[in-house]
Amino acid sequence: MESRFILETKCKRGYKYIEIASEGISGNFNLFKAGKVEEQRLSSRKTKFRTEGLSAWFGSHQALNNISMKILKNEVNAIIGPSGCGKSTFIRCLNRMHEVVPGARVYGHVYLDEKDLYEDGIDPVLLRRRVGMVFQKPNPFPSMNIRENVLSGLKLTHRLKKDEADEIVESALQQAALWDEVKERLNKPGTSLSGGQQQRLCIARSLAVNPEVLLMDEPCSALDPVATVRIEDLLHKLKEQYTIVIVTHSMSQAARVSDQTAFLLMGELIEVEQTNNLFTHPRDKRTEDYITGKFG
Ligand X SMILES: Nc1ncnc2c1ncn2[C@@H]1O[C@H](COP(=O)(O)OP(=O)(O)OP(=O)(O)O)[C@@H](O)[C@H]1O
3 CB neighbour count, 10 Å cutoff: 8
Q: Which helix (H) or strand (E) holds 272?
A: strand 268-274
Instruction: Give the x/- contact pattern for Mg ion in 72-101, rule: CB under 5 A.
Output: ----------------x-------------
- 173 vs 264, beta carbon nearer ligand X: 264
- 204 vs 231, beta carbon nearer other proteins: 204
206 contacts 179 by C-beta, under 8 angstroms? no
**Helix, strand, coil percentages, rounded to 5, for the chain:** 45, 25, 30
First to last CA, the chain: 14
* Phi (first) and psi of residue 220, to 5 degrees: -110, 5
- 87 vs 147, beta carbon nearer ligand X: 87
**CB 84 to Mg ion: min, Å:** 8
Per CB under 8 A, does 202 bind other proteins? yes
- 243 vs 248, beta carbon nearer ligand X: 248
108 binds, among other proteins, ligand X, Mg ion, none (CB under 5 to 8 A by kind): none
Contact set for other proteins, span 79-98 (CB under 8 A): 95, 97
Per CB under 8 A, does 137 bind other proteins? yes
d(CA 159, CA 114): 32
Helix ranges (H only) for the chain are 2-23, 27-43, 87-94, 124-130, 146-155, 162-175, 179-182, 195-208, 225-238, 251-257, 275-280, 285-291
For other proteins, the binding residue among 27, 82, 189, 296 (CB under 8 A) is 189
In terms of C-beta density within 10 A (0-12 exposed, 13-18 middle, 19 or more buried), how is residue 173 classed?
buried
Q: Interface with ligand X by CB under 6 A: which residues?
A: 58, 61, 63, 81, 83-89, 101
79 contacts 88 by C-beta, under 8 angstroms? no
Closest CA to 233 of 193, 149, 175: 175
82 contacts 295 by C-beta, under 8 angstroms? yes
- 140 vs 282, beta carbon nearer other proteins: 140
**CB 88 to other proteins: min, Å:** 11
**CB 223 to other proteins: min, Å:** 16
**CB 125 to other proteins: min, Å:** 5
25 binds, among Mg ion, other proteins, ligand X, none (CB under 5 to 8 A by kind): none
Residue 137, CA atoms < 13 Å, CB-side half-sphere:
3
- 17 vs 141, beta carbon nearer other proteins: 141
> Hey, what amino acid is at 41?
R
126 binds, among other proteins, ligand X, Mg ion, none (CB under 5 to 8 A by kind): other proteins
**CB 63 to ligand X: min, Å:** 4
Instruction: Give the x/- contact pattern for other proteins in 145-164, rule: CB under 8 A.
Output: -------xx-xxx-------
Query: Which residue has the CB atom at the shortest distance from Mg ion?
Result: 88
Helix 162-175 × helix 225-238 angle, to 10°: 110
60 binds, among Mg ion, ligand X, other proteins, none (CB under 5 to 8 A by kind): none
Closest CA to 49 of 94, 89, 105, 80: 94
Interaction site with other proteins (CB under 8 A) = 95, 97, 100, 102, 125-129, 132-133, 135, 137, 139, 141-143, 152-153, 155-157, 189, 202, 205-206, 209
